[in-house]
Amino acid sequence: MDESEESQTDDEASEGAATDEEALISSDEMEALLEGVESGELAASEGLQAGEAVAVDLVTQSLGKVRLPALSRANDRYSQVLRSTLYDLVQKPTEVSFISLDNVKLGDFLDKQLTPTAFGIFNFTQLAGMGMMALGPQLLFCIVSTFFGGEGQQERDDSKVEFSATETRVAQSFIRQALRDLEHAWREMVAVKAVFTGFESNPAMALITDKSDSIIVSNFRADIEGVGGGDFCLALPKAMLEPIIDELSAESRADQPTESPEWQRALRQQMLEVKTETRAVLAKVPTSVRKVARLRVGDVIPIDNPSNVTLTLEGVPFRHASFGESQGKAAVRLGKVCSEEAQAQKTLEDAMRAGASDRKNVQIK
């Protein structure tokens, strides 16, 4: 064997040794395990049989902390706005802070809530589904106590399972204002309109979706100086947020889609200047190809009096009209909008009023 062959053999041996070192177990250990299984000293696991199904909960695996940068920034703004709202309510210095953003099942979330808890149910007019704001009983107790001039020093009765009428009114008042603040805080991310729809104090009744569905929970902490405070949160079904998930996930403001009023006005104005073809069909005469082939210059085709015609815009029925004469020229007088295009015409007129309010007359060519 020459020197080159010996060198190649040494390299292969070293590679094999390196492979054994990188393996989870060495070849000697593998042989020992096989011998132990064959001799019966070691019990072999039966494992999964062919065709056997294993249940995997994909929802549970995805639960926990969630990362939605734009929503987190909106929650920081929300806490600042709520600070002023809470101060106006209790007339004491307050501190509101955003704590965390979690992805949990609704059933697990409700199981952890105390009875009673102030649940404000609401919806977003732009999104499908229901959301809720959960105001902890300790925080509500501090707000009510301070609102009526107390110092919040007395202990809350934990045996109570219902809020008093006064506590309910104060809770609803705070939640309604908090929802208006939510619209303001979300404005830079996505425009929403929150509508308060109901109030519950029993966690078992605060079902905004199925208990097994995932919800995104924004957790906050509010403290009133010299009184105390508590926790509250905003819970929104994950399915409800799917249409705007890109906006919620934007890393920075530059990544968020923005609307430019100047661009919209320019686009609307350009759309109004688009040239279109308008036709008024005076008559339709059914005939055959044979008769058309026989037509000669000077032939007369009898038609009915075209008193009523249909005006078409790019081939689409637009308006009913009456045929006549104006200032010595053939003309049509516009009538009602064609019923099948009434909605389209209304949309067009709305756009024209918004984009060209200064134009008093519209000339149809």
The pLDDT value given to residue 130 = 94
- Which of 271, 218, 277, 224 is closest to 68 using CA atoms? 218
| Stretch (H or E) spanning 217 | strand 214-224
Sequence-separated (6 or more) residues with CB below 8 Å from residue 152: 141, 142, 145, 146, 224, 226, 227, 228
Sequence-separated (6 or more) residues with CB below 8 Å from residue 120: 132, 133, 134, 135, 171, 172, 175, 176, 178, 179, 196, 198, 199
| Residue 49: DSSP 8-state | P
Q: Which long-range contacts (CB under 8 A, 24 or more apart) does 286-294 make?
A: none
The pLDDT value given to residue 136 = 92
d(CA 239, CA 119) in angstroms, rounded, equals 20
The pLDDT value given to residue 362 = 38
Whole-model pTM: value is: 0.54
The pLDDT value given to residue 240 = 93
| Residue 228 contacts residue 94 (beta carbons within 8 Å) | no
| Residue 95 contacts residue 231 (beta carbons within 8 Å) | no
**Concatenated DSSP letters of 99-164:** EEEEEEEHHHHHHTS-SS-EEEEEEETTSSS-EEEEE-HHHHHHHHHHHTT--S-SPP-TT--S--
The pLDDT value given to residue 20 = 45
The pLDDT value given to residue 24 = 61
The pLDDT value given to residue 294 = 86
| Residue 227: DSSP 8-state | T
d(CA 60, CA 214) in angstroms, rounded, equals 9
Q: Which domains does the chain have, with CATH numbers?
A: 61-255 (3.40.1550.10), 262-295+303-355 (2.30.330.10)
Query: What does pLDDT average to in each consecutive run of 10 residues of the chain (365 residues)?
Result: 50 48 66 74 57 54 73 93 90 92 94 94 93 93 86 67 90 94 91 94 94 94 91 95 90 59 76 80 82 86 78 78 81 75 56 50 38
- Which of 42, 189, 200, 48 is closest to 117 using CA atoms? 200
